[in-house]
Amino acid sequence: MTLRRKALLAVAALAVTGVALAGCSSGNPFDEPSQEAGGSASIVVGSAAFPESEIIMQIYAQALEAEGVKVQTKPNIGQRDVYLAALKDGSIDLIPEYSGNLLQFFDKKATESSSEDVYAALQKAAKLHGYEVLDQAKAQDKDSYNVTKKFSQEHGVKSLADLAALGIPLKVGANPEFAERPYGIPGLKDVYGIDATLVPISDSSGPLTVKALAEGTVDLADIYTTTPAIKENDFVTLEDPKNLIIAQNVVPLITKSKVTDTVKRVLNKVSSLLTTEDLIDMNAKSSGAQKLSASAIAKDWLKSHELLK
């Protein structure tokens, strides 16, 4: 009797532990895929821990799925060092990346800065690490100098090169590190000959930086190119003919062994269609009043480009 009760208890305890363990593990992004992968035709797509990355991940995943590739997704895997470790250990096979930052992660001394140069260098660097980068998209998410529409029209300014000719001291709203970064105040001075002083605003081109530019507290503001606020406020993003700011094209980073003709064709098609404008629109849907899910936003985009029925 006692023995049987003990056995029962033991079984019950085991069951409870099992359930508890299962509960714990289901939230871990580094889990083994729950559906068994069917050979190399199955791909695990990951994303960094910010909405834009997750949206692009969904685009990749749904586009591949539509072509019969078995796909799993692992969104929200921290920052670059974390998700690249996941790529290395095989927890994920594919992730949307940004060319400039990825290149500098692989090679800290890289000096390339234009889209083409960065991409060429990145292809080599990725190969060294056992990965491949497929075609890069036109879409870029990078720092950019913006002015108000009024300022642009009054002074006839469309590019950073035009600013130097104005010969007036300019105030730049950006994170404090812009005081020393090569693409910050020193770059404006050395590369373009612009007399600029920094107004430090520590919100990473967030609402305060946008407000500072809109209200004229600053003349120039550093805002990421895919921020919906640029459109909403009619800001003019200044061209950068001398490539002061390193290119950050969206590019699929994939484990070499997972590259098949289908995967290549699908992802290259996606990249050929994805623009910075698209990213702005999609970010607005994600963060604005609508608060749509990444998968719904991705589906809309794919449908509008007839990659999904």
Binding site for another protein (CB under 8 A): 173, 175-177, 179-180, 199-203, 207-208, 211-212, 215, 217
Q: Residue 101 is encoded by which pair of tokens?
A: 């930052």
Q: What is the DSSP letter of 129?
A: T
Contacts of 280 (CB under 8 A, 6+ apart): 225, 226, 227, 228, 230, 231
User: Residue 108 CB, nearest distance to another protein (Å)?
Assistant: 14
**Cβ closest to another protein, residue 86 vs residue 174:** 174
**Cβ closest to another protein, residue 53 vs residue 175:** 175
**Cβ closest to another protein, residue 181 vs residue 242:** 181
User: Residue 286 CB, nearest distance to another protein (Å)?
Assistant: 21
* Beta strand ranges found along 11-69 (DSSP E): 42-46
User: Residue 244 CB, nearest distance to another protein (Å)?
Assistant: 19
Identify whether the C-beta of residue 229 lies closer than 8 Å to the C-beta of residue 97.
no
**Cβ closest to another protein, residue 96 vs residue 173:** 173
The CA distance from 209 to 120, in Å, is: 34
**Cβ closest to another protein, residue 130 vs residue 200:** 200
Place of tokens 């590369």: 191
Going 302 to 306 to 308 to 309, the CA torsion angle's sign is positive
User: Residue 219 CB, nearest distance to another protein (Å)?
Assistant: 14
User: Residue 143 CB, nearest distance to another protein (Å)?
Assistant: 13
**Cβ closest to another protein, residue 208 vs residue 296:** 208
Nearest to 232 by CA among 170, 297, 283: 283
User: Residue 145 CB, nearest distance to another protein (Å)?
Assistant: 17
Q: Residue 108 is encoded by which pair of tokens?
A: 């800290």
**Cβ closest to another protein, residue 139 vs residue 213:** 213
Identify whether the C-beta of residue 139 lies closer than 8 Å to the C-beta of residue 279.
yes
User: Residue 297 CB, nearest distance to another protein (Å)?
Assistant: 26
The string of DSSP letters for 240-257 reads -TT--SPP-BEEEEEEGG
Q: Is 40 exposed, middle or buried (0-12, 13-18, 19+ CB in 10 A)?
A: middle
The CA distance from 232 to 242, in Å, is: 27
